[in-house]
Structure 1
Amino acid sequence: MIGPHRQGDVIGGRYEITEFIGQGGMQYVYKATDLVMLRDVALKTPKNSSATKRFKRSAVVAAKVNHHNVAKTLDYIRDGDNRYLIEEYVAGADLQVALLTNNSFIDPYLAARIFHYLAKGLAAAHHANVVHRDLKPTNIMIGGGYSLTDIKITDFGIAKMADEELIDAAEGGDSTLTTSQTAVGALPYMAPEAIERPREVGPSADVWSIGAMIFQLVTGQLPFGSGLKAVMRILRDPPSAIPVFVLNNPQFSPLANDLLNIANACMNKDPGARPTADDLVMSCGQLCYARSTRVEGVIGEFNYQAWGYINSNRQRVFFHKSSVYGPKPIVDGSRVLFSSYAGGGADRAHPVVIVDN
């Protein structure tokens, strides 16, 4: 295994390591079994021993947040010279892996649902006076893939660590915005004040990050790009132009337009002019989106460049081209993700998104 532990190691006499999950800029993450409560947990430990004091402070702060769209902080322990944060385990993958592996975008219905849940989790954190500071797709856990059985914001438990590293990078300390691993990942979602006045960052910077993520999910593009070029664009430019496919289909354009208007409000250069997380919860509550299960299928027939059928492990489902979101051509054999509803003769698919094969 990568990091300081192997499968079978027992931490604090209670948490048995079962597998290595991954690592971020500041921590190793393992799946472990709580031998007392007999449940799976996420066990996190800092890479840098000098960060242990900040790790504890972050854990104490994160424990204040209790919401079903936030991964719960369960425990903090010291075992020898090492420190460990125990967090609720979410079976699934981060948003980047779960939803953006096959395509760079998702349909507006799915994006609206994600936006609503993230806003609720963020509002709960801000009510507890906790700012995440490092919101990005890799810090959002998704259970159930495109069917979204779980959506949880993670890593409030390292908020203080991320905050101090990002301040150091923005002020040109031991690392910079383009050399710090944490800063490089955060930069495409970073508010202007986090770059110019990093010690003044507050809840509105989290709102900016949520807006940047929603822009990316709907359009398939980062609103200001990535890397060093993104810095000046974040500070002075509007978000990138909207791809034609996002608004040219009347089946999707009203909701996509609503989402982009909210996302753009979140990315106002003036922190005081942005909506609050509570405002986002209210705005998202007015959006119309479905909770239907998403399944995978293959286009088996497409007739007259207008309509056809999708073959799935369930049944043959009818679709019309107006229900397809995205710029990819519709051809026989295309792999798709879709929801289906009862119809006359055959069920009908909507929405349909063609995915990379």
Structure 2
Amino acid sequence: MINSKFTSVRCEIKSVQNSHYRIVGLAGEGQFGKVYAAIHRQTGELVALKELNPFKFSTKKFLREIRILLSLDHPNIIRCYGVEHYQDKRYLVTEYCDGGTLRDLLATNNNRVNIEYKLKIIIDILEGLSHAHKEGIIHRDLKPENILLSVTSQGWKAKISDFGVAKIEAEDAIANISNMGDTGSPAYMAPEQFYGKYSYGSDIYSVGIILYELITGVRPFSGTPSEIMFAHLNRQPKFPKNLSPNLRLILREALQKLPQHRFRTASEMKAQILQYVLDLENKDVGFYEEIRKKPLYLELIQEELNDKEDIICLKTQGNLLYQTSAKKVTVKTFNFHHQKINFCFKNNYLFPENIIDLKIINNGCVVVTKDSKERDVYKLHLCQYKKRSLIHIKSDYFHYGIDSNCRWFAVTKTEGNEQGFQIIKTQDLSPITPLITDFIPSEIIILDSCHGIVIYTQNDIDKNRTYFRLFNRRGVWYDTYTVFLPLRRIVYHSRHSKTLLAGERKTNNLILLKFYPFSVKRIPLHFYPDFYYPMTTGFICASTSGNVALLDLEGNLLGLSHFQHNIRAIAPLNEDTIITITGDNSEQKQLIYRFKTIKNNKVIPINFS
């Protein structure tokens, strides 16, 4: 059994340990029970297990939802794979969506998402709804919480979920006369639903409310349940003055009080919105509109002229600073004394070849060099008090990762005419695994002393997908995740073992990835991030031109700033202090800044909570 912080979450889920699925985290909680992320023990497929509390959700309703979901096969409706029973618990097994719900998007990025992509989400909903209506299904509870999202290279893909109070028209014709039992959510209910009536038009009205909220950031009616009901029955929604006339017409028709005055079908409403999207003048301008800027004040607390060498990279761990130049690594200790940071020389490591990379390990570092005369040969050096050569690797596309205790490492290497991936024991350089040639990793990240991730793409299948495959030090594969995005340079937050940050190719966006449960979040920046590194409570991001952004662990933007000089290298010293190297080869400066924020026109320490 694998015993580490990356082992499956076991709290609250002992009841399904012997099932076909292995729970990997709590994904959410709804009115009828909890939703877990789980992996099929045989296929490795990631699914959602929706626990349905029998006291809140009767067997009749449970069977109805299963029957409805199994009858609906559409890319914009959540797919149902079946049912899992264990003891007194019941689980609906469905497709897993990594982007959370539409409510999550509304809560974080709504006012920044470009109108084109907001409308594409609505088009997805209407396409799924059109299919359900053709099958005689009325959802009756459409709301942002029941719209699941996947993050893709085209924006977001929306899927309708939770058919718990849905009705089948042919079977419920009599009940439709008066059905006040299960209704939807008052804020999104059509007027007739408050009287126990419903029709396909009721779902159209709910989509209209969602569209209104996506565009304006608020619902048309708010207040207590009785106040909301009164407004739905008697008041007309107020539209912002800057709202496009065509969108105003679409919303007005969708939100008519009488069902017969609304769009006749979901397809009719979709056609109107699609025409509006086609007529947009500023299409393909990116996923986000102008990004809201939060000021971040950088207080310069120390400045030193660096005229000895050209520093190209900085890395820190604990109280150690590693400065890398073309052929030398300098290690210094540092400590904070009042407002000053004191540095003390510890060691120098000199190399005859150019340094390609440096990774910090316990009690030292591993340095990779490459001789320009040997095109495909990379040399790994272990630097712990003294420098020693570790291994020479021949590789066409070199990537590596090493255990912090230096007991094993993983590399891409070439043997004969084959390029592949291999895990090697450090002590005697014996291979732990044979050369694995199924894929060529684009990155290798070591998570802890026993586990790692290989990250790869398969461009011949789909260049917009990135695969994450977890393994242990014995070469056993145990989880695979797919992200429907092309990613670049992925960093791992070693203090928060479930968190990775990556760049989205060809955009300024960053992608926050979390495991257990698996989630993907797009983070927009107004500049292209050349550097991003973990800090104690988040990430520091920067561009060579001097832009700096600070993110918390949830990907929320804490602040933005801009240097008046370029950045050659940057690294965190602690949770609110960074060190940078600026200037060019002829004259470099080492600048140390402390983060502060501006509130009520006052500069105060930044709050990371």
Whether TM exceeds 0.5 here: the answer is yes
Pair 1:171–1:130, CA change in 2 (3 A): closer
The equivalent of 1:344 in structure 2 is: none
Quick one: distance in 2 between partners of 1:76 and 1:225?
Answer: 37
Which stretch shifts more, 141-150 or 20-29?
141-150
Pair 1:299–1:215, CA change in 2 (3 A): closer
Contact 1:62 1:157 in 2 (8 A): no
Q: Which amino acid aligns with 2:46?
A: D
The equivalent of 1:150 in structure 2 is: 157
Does residue 1:225 correspond to 2:222, yes or no? yes
Equivalent residue of 2:64, what SS?
Answer: helix
Quick one: distance in 2 between partners of 1:134 and 1:208?
Answer: 11
TM-score, length basis structure 1: 0.69
Quick one: distance in 1 between partners of 2:284 and 2:68?
Answer: 33
Pair 1:55–1:12, CA change in 2 (3 A): farther
Equivalent residue of 1:286, what SS?
Answer: helix
Pair 1:272–1:300, CA change in 2 (3 A): closer
Q: Which amino acid aligns with 1:45?
A: E
In the TM superposition, residue 33 of structure 1 has moved relative to its aligned partner by 0.9
In the TM superposition, residue 157 of structure 1 has moved relative to its aligned partner by 5.4
Cα deviation code 1:213-234 (max 9, x no counterpart): 1011112221122432111110
1:46 corresponds to which of 52, 69, 76:
52
Q: Which amino acid aligns with 2:270?
A: V
Quick one: distance in 1 between partners of 2:206 and 2:544?
Answer: 40
Cα deviation code 1:276-316 (max 9, x no counterpart): 11212222221226466536967699xxxxxxx94342779
Which one has a bigger Cα radius of gyration? 2
In the TM superposition, residue 171 of structure 1 has moved relative to its aligned partner by 7.4
2:267 corresponds to which of 261, 266, 278:
278
Quick one: distance in 1 between partners of 2:148 and 2:291?
Answer: 25
Q: CA RMSD in A?
A: 3.7
Contact 1:55 1:157 in 2 (8 A): yes
The equivalent of 1:26 in structure 2 is: 32
1:89 corresponds to which of 90, 96, 103:
96
Counting only pairs closer than 5 Å after superposition, residues 217-296 of structure 1 correspond to structure 2 as 217-227=214-224, 228-239=226-237, 241-244=238-241, 246-247=242-243, 253=244, 257-275=245-263, 276-288=265-277, 290=283, 293-294=286-287
Contact 2:201 2:260 in 1 (8 A): yes
In the TM superposition, residue 78 of structure 1 has moved relative to its aligned partner by 2.9
Quick one: distance in 1 between partners of 2:191 and 2:292?
Answer: 43
Does residue 1:78 correspond to 2:85, yes or no? yes
Q: Which amino acid aligns with 2:191?
A: P
Does residue 1:189 correspond to 2:200, yes or no? no
The equivalent of 1:16 in structure 2 is: 22
**Structure 1 unaligned runs (5+)?**
174-179, 248-252, 302-308, 318-331, 336-356
Contact 1:77 1:85 in 2 (8 A): yes
The equivalent of 1:342 in structure 2 is: none
Cα deviation code 1:239-295 (max 9, x no counterpart): 1x2234x33xxxxx3xxx323321221111111221111212222221226466536
Counting only pairs closer than 5 Å after superposition, residues 175-186 of structure 1 correspond to structure 2 as 186=185
Contact 1:297 1:311 in 2 (8 A): no
Equivalent residue of 1:38, what SS?
Answer: coil
**Structure 2 unaligned runs (5+)?**
1-9, 296-524, 531-542, 546-558, 563-606
Quick one: distance in 1 between partners of 2:53 and 2:233?
Answer: 32
Cα deviation code 1:304-342 (max 9, x no counterpart): xxxxx943427799xxxxxxxxxxxxxx9599xxxxxxx
Does residue 1:35 correspond to 2:41, yes or no? yes
Pair 1:297–1:281, CA change in 2 (3 A): closer
Quick one: distance in 2 between partners of 1:94 and 1:104?
Answer: 16
Q: Which amino acid aligns with 2:251?
A: A
In the TM superposition, residue 86 of structure 1 has moved relative to its aligned partner by 0.7
Quick one: distance in 1 between partners of 2:153 and 2:235?
Answer: 33
Quick one: distance in 1 between partners of 2:291 and 2:44?
Answer: 37
In the TM superposition, residue 7 of structure 1 has moved relative to its aligned partner by 4.9
The equivalent of 1:116 in structure 2 is: 123
Equivalent residue of 2:74, what SS?
Answer: coil
Contact 2:114 2:287 in 1 (8 A): no
Pair 1:243–1:105, CA change in 2 (3 A): farther
Quick one: distance in 2 between partners of 1:63 and 1:17?
Answer: 23
Quick one: distance in 2 between partners of 1:188 and 1:119?
Answer: 19
Equivalent residue of 2:137, what SS?
Answer: coil
Quick one: distance in 2 between partners of 1:298 and 1:243?
Answer: 20
The equivalent of 2:202 in structure 1 is: 205
Pair 1:22–1:285, CA change in 2 (3 A): same
Q: Which amino acid aligns with 2:65?
A: S
Quick one: distance in 1 between partners of 2:26 and 2:270?
Answer: 35
Quick one: distance in 1 between partners of 2:248 and 2:12?
Answer: 45
TM-score, length basis structure 2: 0.42
The equivalent of 1:341 in structure 2 is: none
Pair 1:233–1:157, CA change in 2 (3 A): closer
Does residue 1:313 correspond to 2:493, yes or no? no
Quick one: distance in 1 between partners of 2:202 and 2:83?
Answer: 27
Quick one: distance in 2 between partners of 1:122 and 1:334?
Answer: 44
Q: State the aligned residue count.
A: 285
More helix, by proportion: 1
Q: Higher RCO, 1 or 2 (CA under 8 Å, sep at least 6)?
A: 1
In the TM superposition, residue 146 of structure 1 has moved relative to its aligned partner by 10
Pair 1:312–1:76, CA change in 2 (3 A): same
Pair 1:66–1:291, CA change in 2 (3 A): farther
Pair 1:8–1:149, CA change in 2 (3 A): farther
Q: Which amino acid aligns with 1:283?
A: Q
Pair 1:284–1:102, CA change in 2 (3 A): closer
Quick one: distance in 1 between partners of 2:112 and 2:294?
Answer: 24
Quick one: distance in 2 between partners of 1:87 and 1:300?
Answer: 39
Contact 1:299 1:311 in 2 (8 A): no
Pair 1:284–1:316, CA change in 2 (3 A): farther
